[in-house]
Amino acid sequence: MSTQLQAVDLEQAIIFKELSKNRRSIRGFLPQQLGQEALNSIFETANYAPSNCNTQPWHAYVASGALRDQLSEQLIATIGQGENVLDYPYEAKYFDEYRKRQLDVGILLYEALGVTREDREGKKRAWLRNLEFFNAPHVVFIFMPDWCEIREAIDVGMYAQNLMLSIAAHGATSCPQTILGYNSDVVREAFGIKSNMKLLFGISFGLEDKALPENQIVPDRATLSENTHFHQ
Instruction: Out of 67, 85, 128, 179, point to the residue binding ligand FMN (CB under 6 A).
Output: 179
Closest to 135 (Cα-Cα) out of 69, 214, 184, 219: 69
Binding flags for ligand FMN, 156-175, as an x/- string (CB under 6 A) = -------------------x
In the β-sheet with 59-64, what is the strand arrangement from edge to edge?
59-64, 138-145, 197-206, 173-177
Q: Which amino acid is at 207?
A: L
Closer to ligand FMN by Cβ: residue 5 or 21? 21
By the rule CB under 6 A, 130 interacts with ligand FMN: yes
Instruction: Out of 41, 45, 51, 178, point to the residue binding ligand FMN (CB under 6 A).
Output: 178
By the rule CB under 6 A, 123 interacts with ligand FMN: no
CB of 159 to ligand FMN, least distance (A): 12
CB of 187 to ligand FMN, least distance (A): 14
| Helix, strand, coil percent values for the chain (each to nearest 5) | 50, 15, 35
Rounded distance between C-alpha atoms, residue 187 and residue 192, angstroms: 8
- Decide: helix, strand or coil at residue 228: coil
By the rule CB under 6 A, 205 interacts with ligand FMN: no
Rounded distance between C-alpha atoms, residue 106 and residue 109, angstroms: 5
Instruction: Out of 100, 111, 219, 222, point to the residue binding ligand FMN (CB under 6 A).
Output: 219
Residues 79-118 that bind ligand FMN (CB under 6 A): 105
Closest to 203 (Cα-Cα) out of 187, 216, 221, 192: 187
The contact set with ligand FMN (CB under 6 A) reads 24-25, 27, 105, 130, 175-179, 201, 219
